[in-house]
Every structure is written in structure tokens, then in C-alpha cells.
Chains A and B, each alone.
Chain A
């Protein structure tokens, strides 16, 4: 391997490290405070509070005078938690249904793939808007609605793998030995299916984070006072022409995370045939 990909990987790792430090370390800093408002000290620009970087508000304050750095860290925890939660939920639903459909075939296959068809027919964003507007926006509602929306791809991939593996020797051998179906699924199919899907899931994290941002723009994202990166970008958008930092700072952090993941993902999957990534929602 030449020096260049190593550089790419290094850079991507550095990007992810910055996000990691933000999310993990910042909450332990002395000035960490996500809640205290000071309307008189609102909209302080980054790097202008105090003489040095370690002033109380190194990244400035938001429209209510709260510390942007602290909120950025908390928002990161919230956004990452939502994204990971959503991907996991999709993964579990997709793998379980996909394996069932692929392994048992027949009626299972018809019903599950029928549901998948309906799911694929629904315009995702419109459905999300309808559900969240009706159920009221909250983190559990977001995770569950997004979490049952994108399982179809995982389901299809695991179904194909399950169907093909069923034909192969080691599964047939198990059947001869009379092992229960569950055992076969768990013991033989899961370990093969899951790693492939985790790679797929990494790509989806970006889709989820930007989808949450779009929903925030429509007023349906994570609700105050809890911050999310998408929510901060959507909030900051109102001040784009007067204080661009409110929008730019969270946007840059999102780029660091998604860019880092994309570069690493590309690096580790290059050569292998990629699975089609999810299109953007909104």
C-alpha cells in the first residue's frame, strides 16, 4: 500500500477523532453548560468571547445566549444516538424478516416481501412528515418512524444471502443432524449476514442525520430544549445572513463525521462490490 491511501485514512481518522473528542471529552470541561441562557449575551461570534480560546464560550453563543460548544457536544450525542438507534432498529427488523423470508420461503416470503413492496411504494419523506406531525415530534417517535422505514434493503440483502446459504453444504448438514431452524439461523446465517449489513448501515448514518436535519427544517425534528445537529443547523439557518457561524459550526461537525465515515467506508469496501447506498430523504 502506498502512502496516499494511508494519508486518506489518517485524515478520515483525524476527522472522526475531532468528533469523538467533541462528543466524549467536551462534557467534562469546566465550562460545559447546555442549559443556562443569557439573553443579554446572545449571538456571540466564535473565538470572540474573552481573550483566549478557553474562555467560557469558545464557539460563541446561540440566539438564547447558550454556549454553542456545549450544545454541539450534547447535540452530537443526541444525533449519533438517534442515527445508531435507527440503523440498529432497521438492521434487526431487516435481518429477522429477511432471514425468515429467505430461509423458510413460501408464505413467509410472500407476506414479508409483500409488506416490503408496500413500504417501498410509500414516499418515505411524506410518510415521515405525516406520522411525526400527527404523533408529535419526540426522539422515540423519530427513532421508531425512521427505524421501521429503511429495513427493506437490509431485508432483501439478508433474504438473498439466506436463500443462497440454505443451498450450501453446512446448512444442509445441520438439517441432517436435525438441528432446530432457529439454531441454524442463529449459528450459521447471522454471522455471515451481519458483517455485510453493518457496512451498509454505516453509510445510512449520514442519511439519518441529514433526514433529521430536513425534518428539523420543517419543524418536525428533535424538539427543544434538546439539541441535535440537524436542529442546530435548521435553527442557525434563520441567522444565515447575520451570524453564519450558528449554521456553519454544526454543519462542519456533521461533515467531519459523515466525511470521515464515507472515506473509511470507501477504503474498507473498495474492491468488494458495493451495495447501492440509500438515496437521500428530503
Chain B
């Protein structure tokens, strides 16, 4: 029996080796010098409905659709379908002028009437997830085929950036049933097929206003698990994905290309400054000195991030260049805790198991810093849905770890939900300043108001910003990504064959 088994092993080894070599040879022969015309990207955002008037999966909407405005590769609000826009002095009326000769992917012309139709359809559909972005609009009318005029419910200086969210669809052809799987839009790509739940195949839109994109075909797949995205990249099944920390290093050492850009997601500690132990301003201020932000970036993010002391990142409108990140000073922080009158009670630290990078490591590292300066914390994780529900309901308790992200790179977006919607500070001047800022159609003036808001936030320590998470685009060397987008979205339109 022993002999027969050893015999098996003897012939099995060369056969396996030969098979491996043969397969390797085949793989080598297939990838000749020809430039690749098709790319497979794995994205971490849902690919659930193709109907941009209903679904809010921004990467999907930006691949197959085009909006009036887009977030430029430098982070600015850049023309998309609209060539230019102006507002009334109080920022309540916005006039968008469309580019000439626009067409949908089926070749039919795109006019201001289609813009009106798209916005009105969303306003009329209470189930549309795009409603959040459109709700500021009181009315929208077409002035001729090339001009759309928006009247806002209240002054809204941020409107052009908010308008990046809604793709424009043709009035003549829109049908909610067919558009869910096979829409018609004006984006860089058009849907060839959608498997219904997670994968869409797209082809370059021949009528795209900027000309057909370099990569003719693409497959876009929803892959929620990061290890899976890494494995797919390493095995050659995916051509591009966004990764974090350690996985970036693994991918790099496996010979994949990567571009890292400062992102728009700020990881921060939020406080219930209205009641409970964190209503104590001195205690909140102590925390800022207790944390070594650089060490967090270095060890948790493996360097792919930037320490910050404000709620928005340097790529986002409203960033205050003058704000300095305080250096860690444990002795000072301890003194401040001792002087604050904190009684030493255990404080729960809530955090979501999504939305923040490496939630388990990060929360433990943060808790450790708090323990070091004499604050007793207890980690309290929650799944994303439960956490968000409590967050909106203002029931998170004294301290929470969360992220603030504005994908439109508009600081006001962040301020709206961290200051105004949440309204943590009852006596705070922030909500009033927010309203003032919204009415300031002059960007420089608006930026000054936002800097003022930021200063108040720092002085009163309503939040402790920790760091900005970088977006690292990892991709096969068959492709080049000349300008990585600052919003973390993978769009085949950004790639070229290398």
C-alpha cells in the first residue's frame, strides 16, 4: 500500500508541473503587446440600479451619466454638461448654460428640457434617493434649448457642486422600468448589460461630448470586501480597485501600479457637547493633545493619510490653510483632564463597523490614547445601519468615532451634517454662520466665513479631527491613471492604456 501511494506521488508531481507550465505559457501568449481596450474595475460602492433618477450610487451615475457640473480632477466644480453658470447676488437663482450640440448615448439631442424633466421627476418621486440632493430646488425652468434656470427654496451658494449628483436623462425615452437595467444617458460610457445585482458591462459612449474615451469597454463590479479586491488584482482578474493601508503595500510589492491622493474623508471623534461628561469643554480640549495623529496615520493607515485639525481635507472647498495640527503632549493633556473636573466615570466610545478604515484597530488605538491621559473608555461597536440611526437620532452618547466625507468636495456639505443637522452645540453660533455662508455667492467671502466657523469649532473642541484617509488607486501596469480623481471613485473614463 505504501509503495502504491509513493508511486502515485511520483507521477503526479511532473504532471502537475507540466500542467502549470502549459497554463503559464498560454497566459503569456495571450497577453501580447496589443494595447488593452477593455478594463475591469472593482468598486466598493453598490451597483444596484442603473436609473440615476432613483439610485444614488455616485460612481455608477458618473460612469453612465453626466450631470450639469462635475467635480474636477483638481477638486474644483468643473463644467460637465453645463458650459457655465451664474447666480443672483443672494444665490437663490442659478442659471446654467448647456454646452452646444450635446447628445445622449443614443444620438438624440440633449436640451434644457431634459434637464427640467430629470429634476422634476426626482422632485415628484418620494422614493428617489436623489431627493436629498434635489430637495433644495423650488422650481426649474428651461429658457430656450440651451439654458436651465433653477430657483432655490433658500439661498444656496453651494448649488453647482450639489448639482454634480444628478445625471440628466432624455424626457422622450425615460422609463423607470427599463432604465433600472438599461438606461440612456450622456456619460462617458453606456450600459451594455447589467446582471441585476452587482456587475455592469459598459462600452464607450460614441456621442460623449468630450469624444469617446480611450478604453472602449469596461466591466464594473461591486466587490465590498477589500481582501477580495486585493486578491482579484493580484490574480489579474481585476485591473483596478481602491485599497487601503497594508493592502496597498502588498499590491505594490506584487508589481501593481498605484496612485495615492489626499481624499475627502475625515476621520474624527464627535462629542455630545450638550449633555453628559463631554459637555465639559476642557475635557474635550484635552483629547486633542492626547492623540498622536501622525502615529495613527503611520500605523493604522500605513502612511496613506494626513493628520488634520479640521473637519474637511485640503482638497475640499473651505479648507483653512492656517489651522495647525497640534503636536501630541500627553503631560499637558493629563493636566487638562485633571483640571477639567472629570470624575473618572467610564465613557462609552461608539463606532460603526463600516465607514471608518480598519475600525477595530483604529478604535482600540484611539481608546488607548484616551486611557493614557486618564479618560476611562469602553469600546461600543455597532453595525453601520444601527450606528447611523442613532447618529441621526442624536443617541450616540458622549463620544463617537466616525468619518465625515463630502464627495462633492464642498466643505459646506460636511458642515451641514456635522454642525447643523446634528446640532450638537445648543449655544453655538455655527448654525447661524452656516446660513450666512450659504447666502454668500462670492467664493472668497464664503471661504472666509467657513474659516471662521472652523476656528469656533477648534476653540470649543466640538470635534477632534484625526486624519484624512488617502484614496489609493491600485491598478495593473497595462493601464495608466494620469490624474487620479480626488473623490475616490473609480471611473474607466480616467484610465488610458499604457
Contact = CB atoms under 8 A, between A and B. Distances in A.
Contact of A64 (B250, B365, B379, B383): B365
Interface string A229-251: 00000010111011000000000
Contact of B379 (A37, A224, A242): A224
Interface string B112-148: 0000000000000000000000000000000000000
B460 interface: no
Nearest to B386: A136
B153 interface: no
Given A39-B299, A242-B246, A237 B381 contact: no
A42 B245 CA distance: 14
A28 B277 CA distance: 36
Contacts of B386: 133-134, 136
Contacts of B381: 136-137, 223-224
A4 to B, nearest CB: 16
Interface of B: 227, 246-247, 249-250, 292, 295-296, 298-299, 353, 358-361, 363-365, 367-368, 379, 381-383, 386
Contacts of A134: 383, 386
A27 interface: no
Given A39-B298, A239-B246, A136 B368 contact: no
Contacts of B368: 37, 64
Nearest to A231: B360
A131 B479 CA distance: 44
Contacts of B364: 37, 64, 224-225
Contacts of A224: 360, 363-364, 379, 381
20 contacts: A37-B364, A37-B368, A39-B292, A39-B295, A42-B299, A63-B299, A64-B299, A65-B299, A134-B383, A136-B381, A137-B381, A219-B359, A219-B383, A224-B379, A224-B381, A225-B379, A241-B250, A242-B246, A242-B249, A242-B250
Contacts of B246: 238-239, 242
Nearest to B385: A133
B259 to A, nearest CB: 21
A223 B379 contact: yes
Nearest to B230: A241
A40 interface: yes
B295 A40 contact: yes
Candidate in A39, A133, A239 with the most chain B CB atoms within 10 angstroms: A39
Nearest to A137: B381
Contacts of B363: 224
Nearest to A219: B353
Given A42-B299, A239-B246, A242-B249, A37 B365 contact: yes
A218 B361 CA distance: 15
Contacts of B298: 39
Contacts of A242: 246, 249-250
B383 A136 contact: yes
A224 B367 CA distance: 11
B426 to A, nearest CB: 29
Contacts of B382: 136
B239 to A, nearest CB: 20
A192 B74 CA distance: 76
Interface string A193-227: 00000000000000000000000000100011100
A247 to B, nearest CB: 12
Given A224-B360, A225-B364, A225-B379, 20 more contacts: A37-B368, A39-B295, A42-B299, A63-B361, A64-B299, A64-B364, A64-B365, A65-B299, A133-B386, A137-B381, A219-B353, A224-B364, A224-B379, A235-B360, A235-B361, A238-B227, A238-B247, A242-B246, A242-B249, A242-B250
Candidate in A42, A63, A134, A136 with the most chain B CB atoms within 10 angstroms: A63
A239 B249 CA distance: 11
Contacts of A238: 227, 246-247, 358
Contacts of B360: 223-224, 235
B307 to A, nearest CB: 14
Nearest to B254: A241
A224 B361 CA distance: 8
Candidate in A42, A224, A239 with the most chain B CB atoms within 10 angstroms: A224
Nearest to A65: B299
Candidate in A64, A235, A239 with the most chain B CB atoms within 10 angstroms: A64
A223 to B, nearest CB: 5
Interface string A149-186: 00000000000000000000000000000000000000
Nearest to B250: A241
Candidate in B249, B358, B361, B363 with the most chain A CB atoms within 10 angstroms: B361
A219 B385 CA distance: 14
Contacts of B367: 225
A188 to B, nearest CB: 48
**Which 6 A-B pairs have CB atoms at the shortest separation, nearest pair first?**
A39-B299, A241-B250, A37-B368, A219-B353, A224-B360, A39-B295
Contacts of A136: 381-383, 386
Nearest to A132: B383
Contacts of A133: 383, 386
Contacts of A65: 299
B227 A237 contact: yes
Contacts of A64: 299, 361, 364-365, 368
A26 B193 CA distance: 58
Contacts of A37: 364-365, 368
A64 B299 CA distance: 8
Interface string A42-72: 1000000000000000000001110000000
Contacts of A39: 292, 295-296, 298-299, 365
B480 to A, nearest CB: 25
Candidate in B360, B364, B365 with the most chain A CB atoms within 10 angstroms: B360
A65 B300 CA distance: 11
A211 to B, nearest CB: 18
Contacts of B379: 223-225
Nearest to A223: B381
Contacts of A235: 360-361
B344 to A, nearest CB: 18
A58 B295 CA distance: 24
A63 B362 CA distance: 10
Contacts of A42: 299
Contacts of A40: 295, 299
A238 B359 CA distance: 13
A133 to B, nearest CB: 5
Contacts of A219: 353, 359, 383
Candidate in A42, A239, A241 with the most chain B CB atoms within 10 angstroms: A241
A134 B292 CA distance: 34
Contacts of B361: 63-64, 235
A248 to B, nearest CB: 16
B137 to A, nearest CB: 36
B254 to A, nearest CB: 8
B130 to A, nearest CB: 27
